[in-house]
């Protein structure tokens, strides 16, 4: 598999990555339209005031019971509304369970905060808030289990408070949820809660909500058919380890659109673990820092029929990434990236197997070498004449100068700075790209950078993945 890029003087990579010369449509088999907020069954008024966070004296005043009671009493097709009451604008909860057909509606100006007390999330006594070798010791803050047609909507905020000190016996400890993630680098598993998790919940919707500071993954969607993410904002520091944005897992018919994501790990990670992920459309989105638009590392169930189009990635460590390892590898195919703009990324296209790989036998190496085309030098004149004809791109005028330093900074909704998407509408005129299968036993990726525009310090990159 080869991807060819031309890097403009402004260090912007605008690449069409396509399996054919045709621009293919959405892969989600549903007809997806902008969601509509359902009628309200009950409005809960905030009892806490949080100007910059929950006051220390309010940390034990949990709203969990009354919010859960609201879910349990709400009829399907309706929403439980969390609203402000004068200056009171905050809810503080432990784990919550959404019900079938019920939507959580968080009003603008209202924040639902997750508790900082690990005991609130424990699956068993002492199972949450440490690093050990056990699995999944903490309950997720908001769970939808077999809750078809449910959702989370509104212009408010859900804040996991991953960067604040944990409470132990009612007092601040010396560790945050994110500190535990760092401690786990030395060995063991971090026992921390996820923010939102859906299991076997068909036709689930996230709409306009803002998610912040999850202790771990922000959104996980398992074993479902029909998941719409529209107008989502995820805003978490880039140094918050393992804080994936949206992780669809073993599911089908998924659309992510009109969303803004920046976090400390994958912006989106498609995970085909104990079942396939298929029929997914990612369209009209902006990603900022994080680990980009990823597939894996779980691919053993297979990943297919994925379309990524009209995507800006500005400041991602890795932009387009496919990752796995020998313990969880599987077939990834029929994946198209089209109309993608990448800026300020360390690895615009990255395929990695982070654990030691089984080495091929000498005979298989010889066979793979014989079937592979000769290496192409990034400065070779012959490489341009032997490349396949590039797919059709809309006509454009090459940029004549680099953007200002202000234009290079990351953009966020409400910021008036120039977006990489603005640059993307005038990409470099020569953008050849193609995908092809070279060998059944070896996958070779070469990123060939035009040094005439990027400078000789930018090397070609090659990664072989067995």
State both tokens at 183: 């401690």
Residues 6+ apart with CB under 8 A from 363: none
Q: Hey, which residues are catalytic here?
A: 265, 291
Q: Which two tokens stand for residue 375?
A: 């290496």
The pLDDT tens digits along the chain (466 residues) read 223 222 222 223 333 343 333 444 569 999 999 999 999 999 999 999 998 899 999 999 999 999 999 999 999 999 999 999 999 999 999 999 999 999 999 999 999 999 999 999 999 999 999 999 998 999 999 999 999 999 999 999 999 999 999 999 999 999 999 999 999 999 999 999 999 999 999 999 999 999 999 999 999 999 999 999 999 999 999 999 999 999 999 999 999 999 999 999 999 999 998 899 999 999 999 999 999 999 988 888 999 999 999 999 999 998 999 988 778 888 898 999 999 999 999 999 988 776 444 444 444 444 434 333 333 232 333 333 232 333 333 333 333 333 333 333 334 454 444 444 444 333 333 222 222 222 222 222 322 222 223 333 322 222 222 2
Name which of 417, 428, 419 is nearest 286 in CA terms: 419
* Beta-ladder partners of 157: 111, 210
The domains located in the chain, with CATH, are: 3-10+362-465 (no CATH), 40-265 (2.160.20.10)
Q: How far apart are CA 115 and CA 94, in angstroms?
A: 6
Query: b or e along 209-241 (b: 16 or more beta carbons within 10 Å of the residue's beta carbon)?
Result: bbbbbbbbbbbbbbbbbbbbbbbbbbbbebebb
Distance separating alpha carbons of residues 101 and 98, to the nearest angstrom: 9
């Amino acid at each position: 598999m080869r991807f060819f890029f031309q890097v403009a003087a402004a260090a912007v990579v605008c690449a069409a990555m396509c399996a054919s010369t045709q621009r293919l449509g959405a892969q989600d088999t549903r007809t997806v339209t902008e969601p509509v907020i359902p009628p309200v069954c009950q409005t809960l008024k905030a009892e806490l005031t949080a100007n910059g966070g929950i006051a220390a004296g309010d940390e034990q005043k949990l709203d969990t019971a009354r919010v859960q009671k609201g879910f349990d009493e709400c009829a399907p097709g309706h929403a439980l509304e969390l609203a402000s009451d004068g200056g009171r604008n905050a809810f503080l909860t432990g784990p919550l369970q959404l019900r079938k057909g019920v939507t959580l509606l968080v009003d603008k100006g209202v924040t639902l905060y997750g508790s900082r007390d690990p005991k609130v999330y424990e699956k068993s006594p002492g199972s949450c808030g440490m690093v050990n070798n056990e699995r999944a010791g903490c309950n997720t803050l908001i769970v939808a289990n077999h809750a078809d047609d449910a959702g989370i909507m509104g212009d408010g905020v859900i804040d996991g408070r991953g960067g604040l000190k944990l409470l132990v016996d009612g007092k601040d400890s010396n560790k945050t949820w994110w500190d535990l993630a760092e401690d786990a680098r030395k060995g063991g598993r971090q026992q921390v809660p996820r923010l939102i998790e859906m299991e076997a919940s068909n036709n689930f919707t996230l709409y306009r909500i803002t998610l912040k500071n999850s202790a771990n993954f922000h959104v996980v969607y398992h074993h479902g058919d029909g998941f719409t993410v529209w107008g989502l904002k995820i805003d978490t520091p880039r140094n918050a380890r393992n804080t994936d944005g949206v992780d669809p897992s073993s599911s089908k018919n998924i659309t992510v659109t009109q969303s803004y994501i920046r976090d400390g790990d994958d912006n989106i990670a498609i995970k085909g673990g104990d079942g396939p992920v298929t029929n997914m459309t990612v369209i009209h989105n902006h990603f900022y820092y994080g680990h980009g638009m990823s597939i894996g590392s779980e691919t053993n169930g297979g990943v297919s029929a994925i379309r990524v189009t009209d995507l800006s990635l500005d400041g991602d460590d890795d932009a387009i990434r496919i990752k796995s390892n020998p313990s969880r590898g599987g077939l990834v195919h029929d994946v198209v990236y089209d109309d993608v703009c990448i800026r300020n990324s360390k690895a615009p296209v990255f395929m990695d197997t982070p654990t030691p790989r089984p080495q091929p036998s000498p005979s298989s190496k010889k066979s793979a070498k014989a079937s592979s085309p000769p290496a192409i030098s990034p400065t070779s004149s012959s490489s341009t004449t032997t490349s396949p004809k590039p797919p059709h791109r809309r006509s454009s005028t090459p940029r004549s100068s680099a953007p200002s330093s202000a234009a290079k900074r990351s953009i966020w909704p409400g910021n008036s700075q120039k977006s990489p998407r603005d640059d993307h509408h005038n990409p470099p005129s020569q953008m050849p790209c193609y995908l092809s299968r070279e060998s059944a036993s070896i996958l070779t990726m070469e990123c060939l950078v035009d040094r005439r525009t990027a400078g000789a310090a930018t090397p070609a990159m090659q990664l072989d993945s067995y």
